Structure 1
Amino acid sequence: MSIKSNARYRVVGGMKPGVPMLFAAALTACVNYAGIHNDARTAEPQQFAAQQSLPAEQGYWPATNWSDQFGDAQLKALIDEALKGSPTLDQARARVVAASAYSEAARASTIPRVDASYSLTRQQFSNTTFVPPPFGGAWLTENKGILSASYDLDLWGKNRETLKAAISQYQASKADEEFIKLTLTTSIARTYNQLARLFVLRDIAQEETTQRERIERITAGRIATGLDTEVERKVAQANLATSRSSLRLLDGQILTIRYQIAALLGAGPDRGLQIARPTLGTGDEVRLPDNLPVDLVSRRPEIVAARWRVDAMTHDVKEAKAEFYPDINLSAAIGLDAFGFGRFLTAASRTASIGPAIHLPIFDAGELRAQLKGRYAEFDYAVATYNQTLVTALSEVATQLAEVRSTDAQLADAQIAQIAARKADELALVQYKAGLTNQLTVLNADVSALSADQAVANLRMNRRDQQIALASALGGGFIDASSASSPVAPRADASPTGTPVVAAR
C-alpha cells in the first residue's frame, strides 16, 4: 500500500499569516535525494593508446563524395538514388521530425500560457437543496466566458532541464540520421564492389571454360593418334562441365547481388536488372589523417549521437532532482459569468481571480527517489554506450587500416605467383599438345593458374572493400555541425539549478 501526501495552497488576494510558518515546516519535512549520486564519466579519446595503430600519415579526412574516387558514375547515381528514396532513411527523418516536435512541446512549458473558454449551460436547479427560491426548481441558462493565464515559475529549473534534454535528444536523432545515411551509402558501395568482384570472377571462369574446351579438343586429337584413352576424354569432359557449372553459379550470384542493391535503393527487384557492370577504379592512396583519435569523436555520427544522449540524460537527472523542490505556479483569470443573456455583458457579471498554487512533496513512499535512481541508471547506460561506441570506432579504423596494409603485401606476392602460374599453364598445354606430357600435368597447371587468377582478383576486390570500409570508419565525410555546442564528458551529479560539469576537450 502506497501513501502519497502533497501540500497544496491556493491564496486569492493574499497569503494568511500562518501559511509561511506551515510552508517553512513543510520544507524541513519534505523528501530529499541525499545519498543518491554516481561518478560515471565519458571517456576521452586521448586516454586510449593508439599512436602505433593509428599513425599520423598527413592524409585527408574523407569527403561526403568519397565514393567518387573510384571513378564509377553509376555508383554515384545509385547512392544519390538511395538517399532520395530509401524507406530506411525516411524512417530516420521521421524520427528527427518527432524529436523536433517534442522539443517544441518542452519549450512551451517554459513560457506563460493563455487560454480562453466559453460555456453555455441550461440547468434546472433542485428545489430541495441549498439553492433558494426563486432559483430553486427553475430552469436557468448560465453564460460563462473566461480568459485565463498561468505561468510556472520553474524556480529549480525543472522545465528548463526538460527542454535541454529534449534539444539534446533532437541533436542525437539528427546524428542518427547521418549514421543511417553513412551506413546506407557504405552498404551500397560495398555491395556494388561485390558485384564487380563477381563479374571479374565470371571473366576468369569464362576463360577457364575456354581453356577446358581447348583441352578437350586436344585430348580428342591425342586419342585419334593413340596417345590418350577414353579415360582422358571423360576427365576433360567432366572438367569442362564443372567450369560451365561455375559460370551458371556466378550468373545466379550476380542476379542476387543486383536484387540486393535494388532493395538498398528502396526499389523493386526489377530495378536491379538495369544495373550495368561496374567500372570501379583503384581509388585514392590510403593515408590516415592527423590528430586521430581526437578528431574522430566529431567525425563519426554514432559517436556524436551517443554523446548527445549522455547530455540528454544529464538534464533528465537534473529534472528528476528538481521534482524534490516546491513547484509554484502563478495563475490569473478574468471573465463574465451570469444567468441568462440580458446581464451577461454587464459589469455586475465580471469575475476575476489571481494567486499562486504551490506544490510540495512531503511523503511519497520513495517514488521520487526511485525515479532519480532510475535516471542515474539510464545515465550510466548512456555513458557506457558512449564509451563502447568510441572504443569500437577506434578499433574499426585500426582494423581496416591493418587489413589494407596486409592486402597490399599479399597482392604483391599473389601477382608474382599469378605470372608464374600462367606461364606454367601455357607451357604445359604446349607440351601436352606436342605429346611431351600427360593430361594430369596440364590439369594441375590449369588449376594452379585458375587459383592464382582468382586470388589476385579477390585481393584487389578485398582491397577496395577495405578502402570503402575505412572511409566509413573515418566518418564518411560527416562533421558535427553542432560541435561548438556539443557536450563533452558531462556528469549527472550537478545541482538541479547549476551548470552541467564538463571536462575540457
Structure 2
Amino acid sequence: MKQQTSKSSIGARTLKLGVSAIAMAALSACANYAGIHSDARMAQPQQYETTQSLPQEQGHWPSADWVDQFGDAQLKALIAEALQGSPTVEQAKARVAQAQAYSETAKAGTLPRVDASYTLTRQQFSSTALIPPPYAGSWQTENKGLLTASYDLDLWGKNREALRAAVSETAASEADEEVVKLTLDTSIARTYNELARLYALRDIAQDEVTRRAQIDSITAARIATGLDTQVERKTAQANLATSRSRVSALDGSILTTRYQLAALMGKGPDRGLAITRPTLGVGDEVRLPDNLPADLVSRRPDIVAARWRVDAITHEVKEAKAEFYPDINLSAALGLDAFGFGKFLTAASRTASVGPAIHLPIFDGGELRAQLKGRYAEFDYAVAAYDQTLIGALSGVATQLAQIHSSDAQLVDAQTAQQAARDADQLAITQYKGGLTNQLTVLNADVTALNADEAIANLKMDRRDQQIALASDLGGGYVDTSADTGHRADVAAQVTPQTHSVIAAAR
C-alpha cells in the first residue's frame, strides 16, 4: 500500500513537473518586447539658461482678471460675453466631455460585468448529428434565459493602465480648454487694443486735415499778395484731399476691426457696431515674478496639457506591455433552458456554468511588438512636444519683455522728437504766413510732425500690445489644479514637473 502511494506521489510530482515544463516552454515561445524601449526624458526648465533674459524682479503672476489693469470696463464685458458664446470654447468643452466619457469607459473595464439575456429559438435539429431522439429531425422551440457575470482579473494591470491613461488625457483636455480660453481672451484684448490704435491714428489724421486746411487758407492769402501761384494752391488742395482720404481709410479699418471683435465673440457683425471707442489705460508696472522658469510649467495651460499627454502615453506604453502577458477572465452563468414553454420555469430547466478563460499570445506575426513600438514613438513625440512647448514659453516671455523694454526706450527719444517736430511745424506755419518761407518748407515740417505723432501713438499701442502678450505668456492667471482632484491623485503623484518616475517605469 505504501509502495502504491509512493508511486502515486511520484506520478503526481512528475505530472506537475511536466505541466510546469510545458508552461515554461510556452512562455518562452510567447511574444515578448525585448529590446523595445525609449530613452526620452522631459526637459526641466532649470536646464535652460534664463537668468539674464528672465531676471528675478519680485513681480507678481497675472491674476485671472488681468485685463482689469487697463481700466476699460467694455473690454472686460466683451471677454465675458465671448467666453459665454464662442464656438471655439464650446468645441473645447465638447472635447473635455468626450475625454471624460472615454475615462468612464476605461473605468468600466476594471469592474465586474453582469448581463441578462433571453432568447427564443425555433429550430429543426439534424437527425444525424449530436441531438438524440426524440428531438432528432424534429422542430423544437428553445427558451433560454441567462444571468451572466464576468470579471477580468487584470493581473498585469492592463485595464488599470488604460484607466490612468484616460484620466490623464481628460486632464490634458481640460488644460486645452484653458488654452482656448486664454487664446480667446488675448485675441480679443489685442484686437481691442488695435481698435484703440486706429482711433488714435484717426485723431492724428483729423488734426492733419485741420493743419492742411490752414495751409490751404494761407496759400490762398499769399496768392492774393503775389507771394504764391496756383501751383502752390493746387498742391495745398491735393494734400488736403489726401489727408481727408486717410481719415476715411481709418474709418473703414475701425469698422472692420469691430467686425473682427464680433466674430471673436461668436456674434454677428452687427454686434460689432455697438462697440464704442476704447478707453484703455497704461496698465500695471511690468516686473517678472521670481522663480519664473520653474513655476511657469504650472502656470501655462499649454505646458500642463503637454505634460499630462506625456503621462497618458506613459500609461499606454504600460498597457501595451501588459498585452504580452496572459489574460485571465472569470465567468459564470445561471439561468433556465428548456424545449417548449411547459417546463421552462421548472427546477429541471436550471442551467449553470462557471470557469476561467485564459488567453496567452504565442505567435502574432509581430503585431504586439509593432503596437508597442508605436506607443514608444508616440511617447517620444509627446516628450519632444513638451520640450518644444517649454522652450517656446520661455522664449515668448523673454521676447515680450525685451520688446517692452525696447518700446520704453524708444518712447523717450520719440517724445523728444515729437516736441521738436511740433515746434518746427508751428514755426514754419508762422513764417509761411508772414511771407518768410515757402510752402515746401511748411509741408516738410508738417510731414515730420505727422510722422512723429504717429510714431508716438504706435509705440504706445505696441507697448500695450506687448504687455497683453506678456500677461498671456505668463499664463493669464491660470494655475494647474488638476492634481487636486481626488480621482487623479494617484496619477498626479507619479508625474510632476520635478520627477519622471512614471516615465522611467515605462521604459
The bucket for the TM-score relative to the shorter chain is: over 0.9
Cα deviation, residue 126, structure 1: 3.8
CA distance in 1, matches of 2:36, 2:397: 39
Whether contact under 8 Å (1:379, 1:492) holds in the other structure is no
Letter in 1 for 2:107: R
- The answer to whether the 8 A contact 1:31-1:361 is kept is yes
What one-letter code is carried by the residue in structure 2 that aligns with 1:404? I
Query: In the alignment, is residue 303 of structure 1 matched against residue 303 of structure 2?
Result: yes
State the Cα deviation string for residues 75-128 of structure 1 (Å, max 9, x = none): 001000100000001000000000000000000000111111011112233445
Q: 1:490 corresponds to which letter in structure 2? A: H
CA 1:376/1:153 → structure 2, altered by over 3 Å: closer, same or farther?
same
Partner of 1:267: 267
Amino acid at match of 1:268: G
SS of corresponding position for 2:362? strand
Deviation at 1:134, TM superposition (A): 2.4
Contact 2:161–2:318 (Cα < 8 Å) also in 1: yes
Answer yes or no: is 1:172 the counterpart of 2:172: yes
Q: CA deviation at 1:420?
A: 1.0
CA distance in 2, matches of 1:298, 1:494: 21
Q: Is the 8 A contact 2:41 2:503 kept in 1?
A: no
d(CA) in 2 for partners of 1:104, 1:115: 18
Matched, 1:417 2:427: no
Give the Cα–Cα distance (whole angstroms) in 1 for the partners of residues 402 and 146 of structure 2: 73
Question: Which residue is 1:8 aligned to?
Answer: none
Asked if the contact 1:317–1:492 (Cα under 8 Å) also holds between the matched residues in 2, the reply is: no
- Give the structure 2 partner of residue 219 of structure 1: 219
After superposition, residues 183-222 of structure 1 pair within 5 angstroms as: 183-222=183-222
Residues in 2 aligned to 1:142 and 1:322: alpha-carbon distance in whole angstroms: 41
Deviation at 1:270, TM superposition (A): 1.0
| Counterpart for residue 278 of structure 1 | 278
Which residue number corresponds to residue 140 of structure 1? 140
State how far apart, in whole Å, the 2-side matches of 1:111 and 1:176 are.
30
Residue of structure 2 in register with 1:289 after alignment: 289
Residue 378 of structure 2 is matched in structure 1 by: 378
CA distance change for structure 1 residues 87 and 191 in 2, over 3 Å: closer, same or farther? same
Question: Cα–Cα, structure 1 residues 265 and 206, in superposed 2: closer, same or farther, change >3 Å?
Answer: same
Q: Which amino acid aligns with 1:334?
A: L
Opposite residue 41 of structure 2, the aligned amino acid is R
Shift of 1:131: 3.1
Q: Could you give the per-residue CA deviations for residues 270-300 of structure 1, whole angstroms, max 9, x where no partner exists? A: 1111110101011111010111110000000
For 2:386 and 2:213, the matched residues in 1 are separated by 59
Q: How does 1:16-415 map to 2 (within 5 A)?
A: 22-415=22-415
SS of 1:293's equivalent in the other structure is helix
Shift of 1:22: 3.7
In the other structure, the counterpart of 2:10 is none
Q: How does 1:437-456 map to 2 (within 5 A)?
A: 437-456=437-456
SS in 2 for 1:336: strand
DSSP-derived class of the 1:27 partner: helix
Q: Shift of the alpha carbon at 1:331?
A: 0.7
Contact 1:404/1:466 (<8 A) preserved: yes
Cα distance in structure 2, aligned partners of 1:374 and 1:381: 10
Q: Measure the CA separation in 2 of the matches of 1:22 and 1:109.
A: 31
Indicate the SS of the match to 2:376. Answer: helix
Shift of 1:494: 4.9
The answer to whether residue 500 in structure 2 is matched with residue 490 in structure 1 is yes
- In 2, Cα distance between the equivalents of 1:463 and 1:179? 23
Residue 189 of structure 2 aligns to a residue whose secondary structure is helix
Distance between the aligned counterparts of 1:409 and 1:131, measured in 2? 98
| 1:128–1:136 contact (8 Å) kept in structure 2 | yes
Shift of 1:482: 2.2
The one-letter code sitting in structure 2 at the alignment partner of 1:120 is L
Tell me how far apart the structure 1 counterparts of residues 49 and 36 of structure 2 sit (CA, whole Å).
Answer: 34
TM-score (norm 2): 0.93
Preserved contact between residue 314 and residue 490 of structure 1 (Cα < 8 Å): no
The answer for the alignment partner of 1:7 in structure 2 is none
Distance 1:66 1:350, change over 3 A: same
In the TM superposition, residue 25 of structure 1 has moved relative to its aligned partner by: 2.7
Q: Partner of 2:32: helix, strand, or coil?
A: coil
Check 1:242–1:493 CA distance in 2 against 1; reply closer, same or farther (3 A cut): closer
**CA-to-partner distance for each residue in 1:198-238, whole Å, 9 max, x for gaps?**
00000000000011011101100100110000110011011
Contact 1:37/1:493 (8 A) holds in 2: no
Deviating more after overlay: 393-402 vs 478-487: 478-487
**Aligned counterparts of 2:159 and 2:138: Cα–Cα separation in 1:** 48
* Structure 1 match to 2:473: 473
Deviation at 1:132, TM superposition (A): 3.4
For residue 199 of structure 1, what is the amino acid of its counterpart?
Answer: Y
Contact 2:311 2:503 survives alignment (8 Å): no
Return the alpha-carbon distance in structure 1 between the equivalents of residues 402 and 152 of structure 2. 58
Partner of 1:11: none
C-alpha offsets along residues 430-488 of structure 1, whole Å, 9 cap, x if unaligned? Answer: 11111111111110110011000000000000010000000000000000012465423
CA distance in 1, matches of 2:19, 2:180: 57
What is the letter of the counterpart of residue 459 of structure 1? L
Gaps of 5+ in 1: 1-15
Asked if the contact 1:328–1:358 (Cα under 8 Å) also holds between the matched residues in 2, the reply is: yes
Question: Which piece of structure 1 moves more, 28-37 or 80-89?
Answer: 28-37
Q: Which structure has greater helix proportion?
A: 2
The 2-side partners of 1:493 and 1:99 are apart by 22
> Residues 130 and 314 of structure 1: is their aligned pair in 2 closer, same or farther, counting only changes over 3 Å?
closer
CA distance in 1: counterparts of 2:134 and 2:156, whole angstroms: 52
Contact map agreement 1:297 1:303 (CA 8 A) in 2: yes
Determine helix, strand or coil for the equivalent of 2:297.
Answer: helix
The count of corresponding residues between Structure 1 and Structure 2 is 482
Q: Which whole-Å CA distance do the structure 2 matches of 1:69 and 1:133 have between them?
A: 92
Q: Extract unaligned runs of 5+ from structure 2.
A: 1-14
- The root-mean-square deviation of aligned C-alpha atoms, in Å, is 1.5
Letter in structure 2 aligned against 1:396? G
Closer, same or farther: CA 357–20 of 1 in aligned 2, 3 Å: farther
Give the TM-score taking structure 1 as reference length. Answer: 0.93
After TM superposition, give the deviation of residue 23 of structure 1 in Å. 3.2
Contact 1:298 / 1:483 at 8 angstroms: preserved in 2? Answer: no
Structure-1 separation of matches of 2:268 and 2:351? 66
Q: Distance in 2 between matches of 1:334 and 1:98?
A: 36
The 1-side partners of 2:32 and 2:128 are apart by: 50
Q: Check the 8 A contact 1:333/1:353 in 2, yes or no.
A: yes
Matched-pair contact (CA < 8 Å) for 2:81–2:265:
yes
- Structure 1 CA distance, aligned partners of 2:500 and 2:94? 28
Preserved contact between residue 337 and residue 349 of structure 1 (Cα < 8 Å): yes
What is the CA-CA distance between 1:407 and the residue it aligns to? 0.3
C-alpha distance in 1, partners of 2:356/2:26?
17
Structure with greater contact order relative to length (CA < 8 Å, sep ≥ 6): 1
Aligned partners of 2:130, 2:35: CA distance in 1, in Å? 54
